[in-house]
Structure 1
């Protein structure tokens, strides 16, 4: 794996990085886990250029036992998804699924969970890994949660970590890890054209991925938001099953509260994510935000008082919103609505039908006058973005000590300064100076 990494970074060969990822997938159950490369393309408006990131972490063995059970039951649980066996992979490639505590993460943002590698051909045919970043999930600032009633805010703060751990597990393993792509493999199709029907029209399948085509090449810059929406919806849908919550160690009233907190957190996030809608350009700038907003629209459209958002004023006379989700209607209203939408998302993904998929997704992702008013209130009441400040380990009198820093910009800078020695700084300066000479930066 490391040899292939070296080859990739020296030559720029994408095939070398894919080979490194293949070796990485085969390294099952390590105590120390890491991955590196140009991985996510969320920040590129064209959805093509990937940003460099890398992490080093230790496996949380206790939490990983839950994920191991989830993996062992994955084939059974996938049958509950609303698209049937024809639209599911012929064989589920059981991944390594671990809970990690991050020691160091290099990148512009730290996710709560990851499903990698991002190469669809490797994920579908060779395998993948899921990781949940536990100490990222728990690093939540203690501040007011906007737009919730006092009771809902208390529930949110009590069970956020537990509910998000469930969501991340279902999202990464059974969300990103599910669903079949109908492909022309050169000599034959990987599905029975005479048997498999389109789940929306009921007609024979007319589109698929030709040789050389991938999910990313077909769906382009919409692909990230679309896929994140599909994976998020799988999490909402499957957390409604008591036996799945039991895998994570939750039963009875606690399990019901965690299910409610998950739906409350995720659907409310679709409202808060309006902050990332670019009103002037009429476009979304962040894949996860776009995805969650679409699912908010689905929940609102389900009707029957399941989700409501009321415009109001607070005690200081400032514009406010009241978000409400009826917990008694999650199973009867919310789950069927999300399930039906999930089926549609999967059909267009499986068949490589960008025209149909983009029409569906963009219609639900439209932001009208009402939502623009909500956006103004969301932006006016938003909190400062939190700083993730990474600790350092130092050797003092033969003992390893953890050194932490304040969650401020100065703390971030000090953490970085003390992490790297003078040689590392000089190496970075030399690279920069060469770039200046070559490119005239």
Structure 2
């Protein structure tokens, strides 16, 4: 049990007055000892600095100490339309129909995300769907006014709903922190009870009563996703801890089972004195459970997780199969259907093998349990699916990059022994997204995530052009006007370069040293360790993967490695020329890329929790580490200066010396990159963790920066996506929506059939038994 003490510091008077907080974590058994030490220090500070320290105080954190504004989406959060109209118009009728069915498969499957995030997310989704389905927004607004809503509160409520929909749950897809309404829950409760939905549906208010008590609360364990003893997750039952996860990992390693599409539950009562674990596979089939003893526990492997949702996904995939463009796509979809039916990952891996062989399709799509960012253990994945059409003009740049990739890889700082035996030239396309069903939209993707396929058979890279292009013009913090103008003007250009290098040559590079099942090795045993100078002494054993060995750190570590590749390679003139930039323009794009990325590492502090000392987002952790590497390089290459802003409040000045990118920045990042690869290749989780945490540690100075970043934070963008509409015969049209919170809500209402929402509710009601303390005080057994 961890406790947190908060040390509040106030200083003044004058324009520089302010407040800061220091957080101290300690175990329960050391509470009195830790408190007495800190109290002693406070007395000394008050005695020696009475003017500045008279208001020093020490108290235990409580829910009342939480800054609620951090968990409320601002009413002015920008909503960007994901524009794909021109790309969609260029498709044939058959291609549009294929895109429609694949989109439906993706969206129906992505309802599972709500079941993966938090115990209340599915119930909130069901409540909102029925609320807005039963009557118009205008009608609800009138009722809201009668319930005491101001216009600003009504807008805030709609923004909460839009943000909930966009993030596929009540935790941010980027940052993993809880989202709560910026409106008094009593007013929302009154609105629910006066709604048409309450009159039409006998279960509406019962569902609402389950989620209402936790929707707006900010207890310490509710603030972020994490293991059940200190966070929220539905990848596990609430009684699962890290020791349980490690045991199941050992079992799965012995059985050579991969956990991408699983969840883990532990019975609350033992069976014959043994702990019972349930490893649940996502599948439409519900039969075929097996039971086995392992390390004095019983492990039950059972199918049927999200069963009705997987059945819907399979039904849509079967329709897409009928209008697929070629035999490769048909084989791919058939394997996907087997996977979602049977629950066996091997079928999805087979489907992925066909997918990487489907070269340059007009319609690109991928679907499954893909990214493991949000699982506290880093091995179970969130459902996602996307459908997009190729932007041929931009794709030509990426094709050129692929054609030269083998030569470019030789520039990376680890040499041939650390690179794949054969570079498997991937398909790399620029896409305009038609549908993306997940907890957020990335700018680029390198998939599949299966190590054995990526290393030995190939992969694909995609850059999502209409996501990159949808950038709201906001005032930028911590930089001067000249740099801000450059970022606004050249962000798309520089980010396109970074995404290309990050995905193809970052995620697509590097070798994992492995012992094969027959005892042979996939590398020369005399290969020299880049760090020790001695022969490589560690490797991946059969059944081990990158994610299983590096666990929760794997996502941030790999994103950092890929980001670093982008930093160093964007310095090369011939690479920039591939993207169409030469001479002065090339230098500008290079500078803007470094400026944007290293500054992003500073802004990333917003996603660091001072209370738990954890990072809420893998990309943020990765960028912060690289910012620290550049700061360590010295020579005033990167400077971050604390100051007072024009508004009289604490501020920062960020500066990057463009003249020192090649001579200071690149060598520093290159040296760090070599170490990252050495630890990754050799499965050296201890060395890799030590290296990464050295730079990822947030000290007192960075905590001050964090306070300023949070105080001056800008709202993140949300997207509103179009829907494909099929007339039942042969015509598919694209329906777009206003770039408003109301537009987001309407798009979700028209995306799903009521039957799918009923099935989501059925899955949710079965799951609730695993989260009794999270939903304490609610009657969810009705």
TM-score (norm 2): 0.54
Equivalent residue in structure 2 for 1:191, among 506, 516, 523: 523
Match of 1:124 in 2: 455
- The alignment partner of 2:750 has SS state of helix
Map residues 9-24 of structure 1 onto 2, 5 A cutoff: 9-24=340-355
The residue that corresponds to 2:557 in the other structure is 226
The reply to whether residue 65 of structure 1 matches residue 396 of structure 2 is yes
Q: Secondary structure at the match of 1:99?
A: strand
- Indicate whether 1:346 and 2:677 are aligned: yes
Say if 1:181 and 1:351, in contact at 8 Å, map to a contact too. Answer: yes
Deviations 1:297-327 (A, max 9, x none): 0000000010000111221101111100000
Structure 2 match to 1:415: 747
* Distance verdict in 2 for CA 1:431–1:256, change over 3 Å: same
SS of the counterpart of 2:720? coil
The CA distance in 1 between the partners of 2:440 and 2:495, in whole Å, is 18
Aligned position for 2:605? 274
Offset from partner CA, 1:332-359 (integer Å, 9 cap, x none): 0000000000000000011110111100
Secondary structure of the corresponding residue to residue 137 of structure 1: helix
Runs of 4+ in structure 1 deviating by more than 4 angstroms, as ranges, are 393-396, 398-403, 437-441
CA displacement, residues 173-212 of structure 1 (integer Å, 9 cap, x when unaligned): 0000101111112332122213x11111111111111222
> Once the 2 structures are TM-superposed, how far is the Cα of residue 426 of structure 1 from its aligned partner?
1.7
* Counterpart Cα distance in 2 of 1:250 and 1:75: 21
Question: Contact 1:387–1:408 (CA<8 Å) still a contact in 2?
Answer: no
Matching residue of 1:368: 699
Q: For 2:433, what is the secondary structure of its paired residue?
A: strand
Q: CA deviation at 1:434?
A: 5.6
Compute the displacement of 1:214 (Å). Answer: 1.3
Does the aligned pair in 2 maintain the 1:45–1:285 contact within 8 Å? no
Q: Name the SS for the 1:203 alignment partner.
A: coil
| 1:149 pairs with one of 459, 473, 480 | 480
Query: Any gaps of 5 or more consecutive residues in structure 2?
Result: 1-331, 770-779
1:31-430 matches, cutoff 5 A: 31-185=362-516, 186-194=518-526, 196-392=527-723, 403-420=735-752, 424-430=753-759
The answer (yes or no) to whether the contact 2:378–2:548 under 8 Å persists in 1 is: no
Name which of structure 1's ranges 209-218 and 104-113 shifts more when overlaid on structure 2.
209-218
Deviations 1:12-32 (CA, angstroms, capped at 9, x unpaired): 111111111111111111000
Q: CA deviation at 1:401?
A: 6.5
Q: Is 1:433 equivalent to 2:762 in the alignment? A: yes
Q: Which moved more, 1:67-76 or 1:185-194?
A: 185-194
Cα drift, residue 417 of structure 1: 1.8
- Partner SS, residue 474 of structure 2: coil
The CA distance in 2 between the partners of 1:184 and 1:438, in whole Å, is 39
TM-fit CA distance, 1:46: 1.9
- Cα distance in structure 2, aligned partners of 1:105 and 1:368: 38
Q: Distance in 2 between matches of 1:188 and 1:430?
A: 49
Rounded Cα–Cα distance in structure 1 between residues aligned with 2:615 and 2:463: 26
RMSD value over aligned CA atoms? 1.7
Question: Structure with the greater relative contact order (CA < 8 A, sep ≥ 6): 1 or 2?
Answer: 2
Q: Secondary structure at the match of 2:719?
A: coil
How many residues are treated as equivalent by the alignment?
Answer: 436
User: Which residue number in structure 1 is paired with residue 110 of structure 2?
Assistant: none
Question: Residue 131 of structure 1: SS of its match in structure 2?
Answer: strand
Q: 1:221 to 1:438 in 2, by over 3 A?
A: closer
Structure 2 distance, partners of 1:438, 1:391, is 31
Task: Indicate conservation of the 8 Å contact 2:379/2:548, yes or no.
Answer: no
Unmatched segments (≥5 aa) in structure 1:
none
Cα distance change on mapping 1:176 and 1:395 into 2, 3 Å: closer
Larger radius of gyration: 2
The two structures have a TM-score, normalised by structure 1, of 0.96
